[in-house]
Structure 1
Amino acid sequence: MKEELTIIYTSDIHGHAMPIHYGTNKKEQIGLAKYATIVKEARIHKENLLLIDNGDLIQGTPMMTNYVKNYTDKENPMIGIMNQLNIDAGVLGNHEFNFGKTILSNAVQQANYPILSANIINKETGEPQYGPPYIIKTFADNIKAAIVGVTTHYVPNWESAEHIDGLEFADAFETLNKWVQHIRDNHLADIIIASYHGGFEADLDTGEPTEILTGENQGYQICQEIPGIDVLLTGHQHRELTGLINDVLVIQPGNNGKLYGEVSLELLKVNERWMVLNKQAQLKTFEDVVSDTDTISYLAPLEQATQEWLDKPIGFIKGDMTISDPLQARIAKHPFIQFIQDVQMEESGAAISVTSLLNNSSTGFKSTVTMRDIVSNYMYPNTLVVLQLTGADIKAALEQTAQYFVLDETGEIIVNPAYVHPKPQHYNYDMWEGIEYTLHISKPIGERVGKLSFQGEPLDMNKTYQAVFNNYRASGGGDYTMFKGKKVIKDIQKDAVALIQTYFDKYHTIEARIVDNFRVVK
């Protein structure tokens, strides 16, 4: 006797519910409104269906920023859609914590499905904070599937301390190992599915490390060293992949609702137990999928309010603050980067400021600036932190950021491929304000910082300085380990969008300018 079980799952949706790109307002083949159509069709044609969301669901679009700023008295729309689709389980991603404890707690409480949270532990009780470690689902002919959920335990390296106060992020691999063994010992589960908001630290085929082994991603180790897992659903890295590692079927469906994952398990009944006879994974697009009208109607009030909010002019630029070449905007000072530095320094009072061009789709500001322009260029709800650093810390950070560049075979400066694959990490290249410095890319990594001064004098390696960063970088995110544990001088709990809006409210018209304080040379 044979049966089939289908798993359909999402990961790293990042607030993309509507099939549009908010920066341009053009239609795109993305989002939960289209996914809802897929799910409704699947419910008609597939008897044994399991629906899972793998995290990074509620943060990432202007709609969700607008919701958090103005409409938290209403249901979280991303949770509301998943409730309407009657999904079976969810997992928390690292970005679920970005809006703080209240927003996250409300989202969890509103969910009509269990949040699988095996390794996010309440420090006082020692128990999972947000939901059970696993669930057992029973399907037709008594097919039993166990689903266990874990989140990358690297969250404290990025998140604001107050957002995760009272929580312990236990090692994802060790936690998963414990609960898979528990399931095998205590339940007659025919299938074990691990939903992991994390990715792969090694090449799927060769096992060669693809990143520094920090524990952020442990997917390869999970497959190799935890017996009994049939399927590993992954995310976090925004990769598009399927494969087999040690007979564990793995899949990751990219990001921003461009794809969803579908896993098909062919089962054979042997001695009253079901065995996996065959398993396949596919990544599927939303091309030619019509958006679900119920979902569109549900989102309509918030979507209309968001569009009105986005189109509101809030300021003006005198001169040119547009970005046409993101590489050049990182090699030489750009007026848009200068603007962000000016905002951070005025708000914080710090003499030194650090920022990044967050991705290659940032276009800077045209002559009239709307909220749409702000959220398109600064898509993360970062706050600001002022740290006390030594000159040696600053030099170490500049050496770290200089790794972003390499020379190609013709001797030209290009982006280090490690910052592009397997996941783009352009946000991990920093530009500094308030100091003067030169980066020599032809020199060995760790020896690239040349001229380094502060207010016309060489930077003193033993003296302390105050510098303002976004909270991600201040916590050491992006392998800036020199910032971990440093004294916090000021913690500014206003997100970047609010800070930029306040700056425009004060000055109204901003002149495009640069302070030519750094050089990136061969």
Structure 2
Amino acid sequence: MSMNSPYAFADLRILATSDVHMHITGWDALRDRNVAGRGMDVLAHTIETARNTANGACLLFDNGDFLQGTPVGAICAAYASDVRHPWPDIVNALSYDAIGLGNHDFDFGVPFLERTVAHMDAPTVCASLASGSVAGVVPTLLIQRKVTCSDGQVRPLVIGVTSVLPPQTAIWNHRYLTGLIELEGGVSAARRAVTALQAQGADIIVMLCHSGAGASGTKDDENFGAEIAAKVEGIDAIILGHTHERLPKTAGPKDLNGVPAVMPGYAAEVLGQIDLRLGWTDVGWHVAGHDATLRLPGAEDQPVPAITALAAPALAKTQETLDQTLAQTTSGFHTYFGMLMSGPSDALIARAMINVIAEQVAGSDLADLPLIASVAPMTMGGAQGRATLSMCLRDRFKCAIWRCWHLIPTPFGRRC
């Protein structure tokens, strides 16, 4: 360190959501009830508080899997031409700085994803594409900030951002991606992107890793967060996702192989926060200290009306669709032993799935093939008596219809 370049400090706060899965409010569409502490309209208040209490610069990222996961997401995809998608509006209202992609964001096809990306002010980033492209998605991103240092000087800071996801996405969404997009392994994609960001002049690098932590030293092509942290040099903070866990745990480490790390759960229930203490010398910036934590909405965190209003049209369309009568039966059904053995509710759901598929493939080269429906139990018994059991059956029947939805063609390709 030269005498002309005194040592100084600055603070950078990184906020992150992940695996929101279209929980834009706390409304559980299938059960028609609100879940406390869930939804982007509630988390918006938490985000505002975290920003307002930051000591220095603050960035907000999303780590993917935002388009799919609730009937609201399916409705937005099914009626894309006449229902404005709320997610881009929410991203814009909350001033996200960058968005990473998750595997489920391809569930409605590339054209639908491209239209959603086009409506977001925040750049969308994904470095996992080995070939092919998604319009509007870039592999790396540089964010310019000016930060006030402990010596009173204001200095420029360049934050590099990239994103990776499981390569199995190409298999899980093969009907959309085969012949169009090939995906690279997580570690190799991360290494390539970090090298590029370093060459582009990034002072600090944030990795949006839509993958679980896994374990360093073990080969896990789907959950490679720990492996990236151990093998890819130059990453200063890592946001994890995909497995819906919460990290750090209460008594757990706040880093992953030395890299500050958070995984902000699922369904907009938690906000991830990494605070970096940055040191500056005449040779540039480095991380001098860090803290990682999860912020859960408290009693004071009420839904932000402006965000709830953005979600209202899509929620109304979803309610209208789910209120339609699908079928009637005079027979009694229950799910008392649903997790132990198949029963009449499973048979009903399987028959509904087969009927929907048979109607859609009629007259095609698939029409003569045998149809087999696989039904997984989702509930057993009922904590609130028979009314709950009846509701559970209704929910499962509707879920079965949504699972068949992807076979129905639309002007935008096939549904999820």
TM-score (norm 2): 0.80
Q: Which protein has greater RCO, CA pairs closer than 8 Å, 6+ apart?
A: 2
1:70 pairs, out of 67, 70, 79, with: 79
CA contact (8 A) 1:15 1:61 kept: yes
Bigger fraction of residues in strand: 1
CA contact (8 A) 2:208 2:240 kept: yes
Tell me the alpha carbon deviations over residues 95-153 of structure 1, each in whole angstroms, 9 at most, x when there is no partner.
Answer: 11111223212111111111102122443xxx675422111222222122111111211
1:193 Cα deviation after fit: 0.9
1:271 pairs, out of 267, 282, 285, with: 282
Q: Which residue of 2 aligns with 1:79?
A: 88
Indicate whether 1:253 and 2:254 are aligned: no
Q: Structure 2: which 5+ runs fail to align?
A: 1-7, 148-154, 249-253, 359-367, 383-387, 411-416
Tell me the alpha carbon deviations over residues 59-87 of structure 1, each in whole angstroms, 9 at most, x when there is no partner.
Answer: 11122222222343443211210011111
2:323 pairs, out of 311, 319, 322, with: 311
Q: Which residue of 1 aligns with 2:5?
A: none
SS in 2 for 1:221: helix
Q: Which residue of 1 aligns with 2:181?
A: 167
Q: 1:13 to 1:263 in 2, by over 3 A?
A: same
Q: Which residue of 1 aligns with 2:57?
A: 48
CA contact (8 A) 1:120 1:129 kept: no
Identical residues among aligned pairs (%): 22
Aligned length, in residue pairs: 372
1:292 pairs, out of 297, 304, 308, with: 304
Give the counterpart letter for 1:282 in structure 2. T
Q: Which residue of 2 aligns with 1:4?
A: 11
Q: Which residue of 1 aligns with 2:39?
A: 31
* Aligned pairs (5 A) from 1:353-392: 353-357=372-376, 359-360=378-379, 366=390, 374-375=397-398, 377-378=399-400, 381=403
Question: For residues 362 and 368 of structure 1, what CA distance do their matches in structure 2 show?
Answer: 9
Question: For residues 14 and 199 of structure 1, what CA distance do their matches in structure 2 show?
Answer: 16
1:176 Cα deviation after fit: 0.9
CA contact (8 A) 1:97 1:164 kept: no
1:181 Cα deviation after fit: 1.9
1:317 Cα deviation after fit: 3.1
Q: Which residue of 1 aligns with 2:212?
A: 199
**TM-align CA RMSD:** 2.8
CA contact (8 A) 2:85 2:314 kept: no
Tell me the alpha carbon deviations over residues 142-182 of structure 1, each in whole angstroms, 9 at most, x when there is no partner.
Answer: 12211111121111221142355411112221011012122
Q: Which residue of 1 aligns with 2:112?
A: 103
Give the counterpart letter for 1:340 in structure 2. I
SS in 1 for 2:223: coil
Question: For residues 355 and 87 of structure 1, what CA distance do their matches in structure 2 show?
Answer: 40
1:238 pairs, out of 241, 244, 261, with: 244
Indicate whether 1:20 and 2:27 are aligned: yes
Question: For residues 30 and 223 of structure 1, what CA distance do their matches in structure 2 show?
Answer: 30
Q: Which residue of 2 aligns with 1:118?
A: 127
1:227 Cα deviation after fit: 0.9
Question: For residues 361 and 368 of structure 1, what CA distance do their matches in structure 2 show?
Answer: 9
Q: 1:292 to 1:190 in 2, by over 3 A?
A: same
1:494 Cα deviation after fit: 6.5
Q: Which residue of 2 aligns with 1:460?
A: none
Q: Which residue of 2 aligns with 1:483?
A: none
Give the counterpart letter for 1:40 in structure 2. E
TM-score (norm 1): 0.65
Tell me the alpha carbon deviations over residues 426-476 of structure 1, each in whole angstroms, 9 at most, x when there is no partner.
Answer: xxxxxxxxxxxxxxxxxxxxxxxxxxxxxxxxxxxxxxxxxxxxxxxxxxx
1:241 Cα deviation after fit: 1.6
SS in 2 for 1:327: coil
CA contact (8 A) 1:12 1:238 kept: yes
Q: 1:268 to 1:185 in 2, by over 3 A?
A: same
Q: Structure 1: which 5+ runs fail to align?
A: 385-491, 496-522
Q: Which residue of 2 aligns with 1:424?
A: none
CA contact (8 A) 2:349 2:400 kept: no
Question: For residues 14 and 391 of structure 2, what CA distance do their matches in structure 1 show?
Answer: 48
Q: Which residue of 2 aligns with 1:216?
A: 222
Q: Which residue of 1 aligns with 2:144?
A: 138
Question: For residues 356 and 368 of structure 1, what CA distance do their matches in structure 2 show?
Answer: 14
Question: For residues 278 and 182 of structure 2, what CA distance do their matches in structure 1 show?
Answer: 38
Give the counterpart letter for 2:298 in structure 1. E
Question: For residues 174 and 161 of structure 1, what CA distance do their matches in structure 2 show?
Answer: 25
Question: For residues 180 and 367 of structure 1, what CA distance do their matches in structure 2 show?
Answer: 49
SS in 1 for 2:339: helix
